[in-house]
Amino acid sequence: RKTNIHEMLDEVTDRFSFQLRQKNIRAMIVVDRDLKSAWLDRDQIDQVLDNLISNAIKYTLEGGAIEFSAHKQDAGTIAISVKDTGIGIPKKDLSRIFDRFYRVDKARSRNMGGTGLGLSIAREIVKAHGGTISLKSELNEGTTVTFTLPVLQEEGETA
Ligand code: ATP
Ligand code: MG
């Protein structure tokens, strides 16, 4: 359905407001001026966003920050990023991070809960929608996950 991107990102942070407050994590949203709305499969894209923010919260220490940003990559593509100031991912694990059930270092994830499916599901959904997903991370600095989605360009609108 037609979705205002800023509203969609507001709603994600609202769904996680309890966890954010609990860990005293600030959430920011930055949406490019020329990106207002797009036709999106909201149930599916919400699932991607929920997986990404839940990781960002889970793997960010108290007092950290999470930033959502969205911009138009080109006329037919939008890019949405979730950036955190969390624990990061070791270089050696980066190539397997989207694999099913893959979790970095059992020791650090043991008491965090989870099955290692979140990122693989996110990738499935993004791929099914014709987009791509990628992750950049620096150990002890933070992680940024970016996914793209093809969007319909509407007549007479810079959506
Ligand atoms: P689930 O999502 O099924 O609850 P999970 O969060 O462990 O479990 P994924 O979301 O697939 O699984 O993530 C895989 C692994 O990648 C995680 O175990 C974690 O080690 C690492 N990871 C994912 N996102 C981040 C992040 N934002 N910062 C640091 N590490 C991350
Ligand atoms: Mg996860």
In the reported structure, the alpha carbon of residue 157 is separated from the centroid of ligand 1 by a whole-number distance in angstroms of 37
Give the helix ranges, DSSP H, for 23-153: 42-58, 106-110, 118-128
What are the beta bridge partners of residue 66?
27, 84
Pairwise CA distance, residues 133 & 149, whole Å: 9
**Confidence (pLDDT) at 110:** 62
- pLDDT for residue 123: 98
Its pTM stands at 0.94
Using CB distances shorter than 6 Å, the residues near ligand 1 are: 51, 55-56, 59, 84, 86-89, 97, 102-104, 109, 114-120, 143
Closest residue by Cα to atom 24, ligand 1, is 55
C-alpha of residue 15 to centroid of ligand 1, in Å: 19
pLDDT for residue 152: 77
Burial 61-76 (b: 16+ CB within 10 A, else e): eeebbbbbbbbbbeee
Quick one: which of 143, 135, 131 has its CA closest to 45? Answer: 131
Which ligand 1 atom is at minimum distance from the Cα of 121? 11
Strands 77-84 and 2-4 come out as unpaired
Alpha helices in 59-97 (DSSP H): none
Ligand 1: which residue has its CA nearest to atom 10? 118
Q: Give 139's contacts (C-beta < 8 A, 6+ positions apart).
A: 87, 88, 89, 90, 91
- pLDDT for 159 equals 44
The answer to whether ipTM exceeds 0.85 is yes
Per-residue pLDDT of the chain (159 residues; tens, 9 = 90+): 899 999 999 999 999 999 999 999 999 999 999 998 999 999 999 999 999 999 999 999 999 999 999 999 998 999 999 999 999 999 999 999 999 988 887 666 666 778 889 999 999 999 999 999 999 999 999 999 999 999 876 554 554
Percentages (nearest 5) of helix, strand, coil residues in the chain? 35, 30, 35
User: 153 CA distance to ligand 2 centroid (A)?
Assistant: 32
Closest CA to ligand 1's atom 5: 116
Distance CA 156, CA 128 (A): 28
Collapse the DSSP code of 81 into the 3-class scheme (helix H, G, I; strand E, B; otherwise coil) and give the result: strand
The predicted pLDDT at position 88 comes to 95
